Structure 1
């Protein structure tokens, strides 16, 4: 008489992403957007059908940290002020962060941007002409990136997607009912 296998142990509740994991996602997002923006700019200004997008490795740190800070602002401000007010705050933060990181990188000859050719630039590190794009980017970052990233969860179990029972079934049976071959 066959006995029923014991039910699998209960799965632990999914846990939110770590701060480092969220920072990484924000860094990659910012990096990608920078490349796409510069490609679109090159096309709009020079009609370059190659769409060459460029950025710097520094952009990973800059965007990851900037968006992680905006995430914390979002969590603190979401019940206190409307989205347009938050986006104005995010835009001001973005200008402050862009200026600060640009000034620091310039000290080492490593600042990858120079807005000196823009009419309303300040020290070539920031420009008022980007106010609307930064505002729109902050709106999209909150609505599409930050809110969804905060909903992501790690699941309990192996990171490679293995589920109990698969190894024994793939080996033609002989399992112990817990997904392992007898003798493992």
Structure 2
């Protein structure tokens, strides 16, 4: 018949997590009242951060799903998000390419992270685990679908 389906590879999963992060960024822009968040393009740097952070959170999920309660995992996820945001933001800032700046918030650290977003990241991490990670890990790739070839109908004039 064919080879059995296999799970998505790491690159495909990272891409899914990057898309999820991108749309969360846009939703956050709407929630904080940013003008036209969907017209502002996300940078390649932030897309990579979202994908790598999502993959890191997947590993936390796989390692701790039977060891820790959901609340503990979500707190670890938020810690992971803040670590990635701070580290990647610092690195991108060196090149003048950091797409976010939280300097205007009261509880910010060097303008790279803001504690005011803890609840948003907590809910985002919960959704990531329950909706994105769990379902992404269940996706399987099989052989490409090919339609069965059917004979072409023959058209002929009968009784003229």
TM-score higher than 0.5: yes
Deviations 1:70-91 (A, max 9, x none): 0011000001000110000111
Q: Residues of 2 paired with 1:58 and 1:170: CA distance?
A: 51
| Largest Rg, 1 or 2 | 1
Picking from 34, 48, 68, the partner of 2:55 is: 68
C-alpha separation in 1, matches of 2:22 and 2:51: 9
Tell me the distance in 1 between the aligned counterparts of 2:129 and 2:152: 47
Asked which structure has the greater RCO (Cα within 8 Å, sep 6+), the reply is 2
SS class of match (1:143) = helix
1:162 maps to what in 2? 146
TM-score (norm 1): 0.77
Aligned residues: 152
Q: When the two structures are superposed, what TM-score results if normalisation uses the length of structure 2?
A: 0.88
1:17 counterpart = 2:17: no
Q: 1:135 to 1:170 in 2, by over 3 A?
A: farther
Distance in structure 1 (CA, Å) of the matches to 2:78 and 2:37: 26
Q: Structure 1 regions of 5+ residues with no counterpart?
A: 1-9, 174-184
SS at match of 1:11: coil
Retained in 1: the 8 A contact 2:24–2:124? no
